[in-house]
Structure 1
Amino acid sequence: MEGSEMEQREGCGDSRAGRKRKGLATSVEERVRPEVRSMARPRHGGDVWGYNGIEDYSSNVNPLGAPERLAEYIRDAAGDLINYPDDTASGLKGAIASRYDVPAGSIVVGAGSAELIRLFPEVFISPGDKVVMPKPTFSEYGFACRLMGARMVDHPLREEDGFRVDVGSLINALDRETKAVYLCNPNNPVGRMIGRREVMELVEEAGRRDVMVFLDETLLELSERDQDVTCVHEVESHDNMFLIRSFTKSFAMPGLRIGYGFGSKEVMRFMEAGRLSWNIGTLEQRVGARLMSEEQEHVRKAVRMLVDEKKRMHSELSRILPYRVPLPDSYFFFCPVHPLGVSSRQFRAAMLEERMLVRDCSSFGAPCDRYSRFCVKTPERNEAFLGAMRSAVEKLGTGR
């Protein structure tokens, strides 16, 4: 084959191979894996850095904050930092196993649920594999899959149906080329939840089609429906299923990165093989074990408060806004703002003027760019938030 013809087939002489034949240096971009070249970092809530005196309503964590004894747990754990951490994280896994009444061999831990979100496709997804993803949903899933070269297929959730997942429709989207399907329950950012029966219908049908199911329950533990909905006890008998949870939401400690996942022993064998060594430090292991063993009442107390406050906030929002706001299944609102004549980004700016940070949902794509997400907190904080929203809505209505 003539050199010029080969270069044309490789990209009109601009490929790395073509440049090397010409004695030209390749650029850094040309050395990078194709999957990484066009990647953009996902955007999230909780971006309070750079603001002073701002109340963060954009992130969904325990409104009671971290347990009072957290500082004590950290001090107690800090005395053993001279040694490498236990790479098996046996103490932390044991505490999680006891809390959920599952074998420790069915558990993997990570530096936050984010590490496990990345680890799953690193272990199970190969370049070109088809992955089905509801849209909208948490952006880290798609980011991790694209990084591994997955072929992403969006499964749009219907705005007219309140963005609820239709399991039958999702099952119909699975075909013989599908390697994995993702489900966030309750779904982020829309706050909608489906029951255990529906989730397991998806898992079982996916199993018959040889499809893996990634199930994210990190937002479920602060729901009053947790025990009725969770599928933690289904993972041992379904080897096509991987389920994650996190300390971040239930114990309000995003700054300490502790996540955990459940799967069958066979799934765990490969997840453990693929994970980063010493991924959980001694501090996280010791603190996490004590939180899991000693602070469950802290979580239950928050759930009881959230049930009442969600209803109260919903009632108050109906007085502030000139339209109906959907009552969420979870403890955060996905609120339409386009009837106010503004976008999600513009509403965020208006609330920042009132010293409140809400989630700009534009990063989830249309039609989420017409919605705002904000959480439920304590009664006193919620009063301040509602007052700020009332002021922002009035100013938007007058064009100020």
Structure 2
Amino acid sequence: MTQKTKSSLRTSNLVNSIQPSGIRKFFDLASSMENIISLGVGEPDFITPWGVREACISSLERGYTSYTANAGMIELRIEIANYMKKQFQLEYDPKEQIIVTVGASEALDIALRSIVDPGDEVIVVEPTFVSYAPLVTLAGGNPVSVGTTAETNFRLTPRQLKEAITDRTKAIMLSFPNNPTGSTMSLNELKEIAKIVEEHDLIVLSDEIYAEMTYDGKHASIANIDEMKDRTVIISGFSKAFAMTGWRLGFVTGPSDIISAMLKIHQYSMMCASTMAQHAALEALQTGMEDVKKMVQSYKQRRNYFVKSFEEIGLPCHVPGGAFYAFPSIKNTGFTSEEFAEKLLLAERVAVVPGHVFGAGGEGHIRCSYATSLENLKEAVARIDRFLVSFR
């Protein structure tokens, strides 16, 4: 009788195949150093508005500490539906087409697990947030990278999409405004993508967490296009626009059949999102939009300064249309993006994220968050300039 050979590892081969986040490496190194200016953190530097925090405190004082419905408080789902209609002209049934999730990250995870069968291919448009491809893998699918470039301002072209589609393609993941590039796509550009999506009967997972942070014109969702709403799942939340990263509260909207499937996973893995956070989010939607406008205006001012400054010190940088990241090219330095980030951190105590961690097309760039004070940005630019001069 042949004895079965056990793996020397106690953890699954699937999990072992996934690399840790490339962002974390630089955060860990920077945390051990003094006098650091961090341009790496992907979260607002604003504190959650007081009215939102007060709503959370009040909910605790009134004893709202039990579970909510799996999909979230119906009051909050109704308010999310109102928000989506008013801000983006998209109508969703709060009872059947909306789930409140534990951050947008959970929404992405359960969306993929609800549609992907083993071997299905999911197109991941890169550069993009580091979790997308690993989440596809964890769902049993095969991520297919499509790398955009600075020449197209990191927008997806119809030709790129067509070339990536096979008979195994199930879905495409979009992220506009984009992390890390800040790029956006217009409604006309998305219409060209939508034609191909419909032709091949694909599902779209559209991460629109930065939708409110669209600086030039109005945010365009692919779900706004005729026939696309029924094949698009929108991932969003409160972390970025409402400065609520630590609250871990997101939401997802989409077709009833996909939302129903996602709810099955959500109810077994999470039960429901934090009750207190949901009360805070309800207040954010009802009274917090003026705070959002003020924060977005501040980000736009910082963006304008930051991009101009990068150009002046010799690092070409496209103008990001949204989010709060600049993605300058460092190709003219002769360093790889990882070499540049490491040398800059050690020499000048400025923490940035090397572009290659965000996938194809990211190499030769660095991600710099301008979600920090203008004073910090000015000092960071001065240090980066000094670093560049030392190697010229």
TM bucket normalised to smaller: 0.7 to 0.9
SS in 2 for 1:298: helix
- Alignment partner, residue 338 of structure 2: 345
- Equivalent position of 1:230 in the other structure: 221
CA contact (8 A) 1:106 1:236 kept: no
Task: Determine if the alignment matches structure 1 residue 296 to structure 2 residue 289.
Answer: yes
**TM value normalised by structure 2:** 0.84
| 1:37 aligns to 2:16 (yes or no) | yes
Label 1:355 to 1:363 Cα distance change in 2 as closer, same or farther (>3 A).
same
Q: Does 1:199 align with 2:190?
A: yes
Per-residue CA distance 1:323-350 (angstroms, 9 max, x = gap): 5322222232101123234333344342
3-state SS in 1 of match to 2:247: coil
Residue 70 of structure 1 deviates from its aligned partner by: 3.7
SS in 1 for 2:136: helix
State the alpha-carbon separation in 1 of the partners of residues 291 and 35 from structure 2. 26
Contact conserved, 2:162 with 2:196, CA < 8 A, in 1?
A: yes
* Cα distance, 1:156 vs structure 2: 2.3
In structure 1, what is the Cα distance between the partners aligned to 2:40 and 2:139? 29
Whether 2:140 is the aligned partner of 1:149: answer: yes
Post-superposition Cα deviations, 1:192-224, rounded to whole Å, max 9, x if no partner, equal 211123324433432332211111111222113
Cα contact 2:237–2:250 (8 A) shared by 1:
yes
Give the Cα separation in 1 of the matches to 2:227 and 2:242: 26
Aligned with 1:88 (options 49, 68, 71): 71
Query: How far apart in 2 are the matches of 1:237 and 1:170?
Result: 16
Alignment of 1:1-400 (within 5 A): 21-23=1-3, 26-27=6-7, 29=9, 33-44=12-23, 47=27, 50=32, 54-79=36-61, 80=63, 82-89=65-72, 90-101=74-85, 102=91, 103-104=93-94, 105-225=96-216, 227-231=218-222, 233=224, 238-275=229-266, 276-319=269-312, 321-330=313-322, 331-349=324-342, 350-351=344-345, 354-365=348-359, 368-377=362-371, 381-399=373-391
Single out whichever of 113-122 and 247-256 deviates more from structure 2: 247-256
Q: Which amino acid aligns with 2:49?
A: P
Residue number in structure 1 paired with 2:88? none
Structure 2: gaps of 5 or more residues: 86-90
Counterpart CA distance in 2 for 1:236 and 1:371 is: 36
Distance 1:235 1:184, change over 3 A: farther
Q: Write out per-residue CA displacement over residues 165-195 of structure 1, whole angstroms, 9 at most, x where no aligned residue.
A: 1134313432332111111112222222111
Contact between 1:63 and 1:302, CA under 8 Å: does it hold in 2? no
Instruction: Provide the C-alpha distance between the structure 1 equivalents of 2:153 and 2:22, rounded to a whole number of angstroms.
Output: 23
Q: Aligned partners of 2:209 and 2:76: how far apart in 1? A: 17
Partners of 2:217 and 2:31 in 1: CA distance: 32
After TM superposition, the structure 1 stretch with the greater mean CA deviation from structure 2, 256-265 or 88-97, is: 88-97
- Between structure 1 and structure 2, the one with the greater Rg is 1
Are the equivalent residues in 2 in contact too, given 1:73–1:287 (CA < 8 A)? yes
**Are the counterparts in 1 of residues 42 and 371 from structure 2 also a CA contact under 8 Å?**
no
Task: Say how many residue pairs are matched.
Answer: 376
| Contact residue 107 and residue 261 of structure 1 kept, 8 A | yes
Whole-angstrom distance in 2 between the partners of 1:86 and 1:140: 28
Counterpart Cα distance in 2 of 1:396 and 1:233: 44
Q: Whole-Å Cα distance in 2 between the matches of residues 210 and 34 of structure 1?
A: 32
Deviation sequence 1:241-293 (CA, Å, 0-9, x none): 11111211112222110111111223222222232342301122111111121
Measure how far apart 1:226 and its partner are: 6.9
Deviations 1:74-108, CA, capped at 9 Å, x for gaps: 31122436422332312321221122223313212
Residue 6 of structure 2 aligns to which amino acid in structure 1? T
Task: Letter of the 2:129 partner, please give it.
Answer: F
Aligned CA distance change for structure 1 residues 56 and 70 (closer, same or farther; 3 Å): farther
So what's the TM-score if we normalise by structure 1? Answer: 0.83
Cα distance change of structure 1 residues 237 and 393 upon mapping to structure 2, 3 Å threshold: closer
Structure 2 residue matching 1:273: 3-state secondary structure: helix
Matched-pair contact (CA < 8 Å) for 2:40–2:368? yes
**Alpha-carbon separation, structure 2, partners of 1:201 and 1:219:** 22
* Larger CA deviation: 243-252 vs 381-390: 381-390
Percent of counterpart pairs with the same letter? 22
Partner SS state of residue 242, structure 1:
strand
- Cα distance change, pair 226–88 in 1 and its aligned pair in 2 (3 A): farther
Which sits farther off after the overlay, 244-253 or 39-48? 39-48
CA distance in 2, matches of 1:237, 1:194: 16
SS at 1:213 equivalent: strand
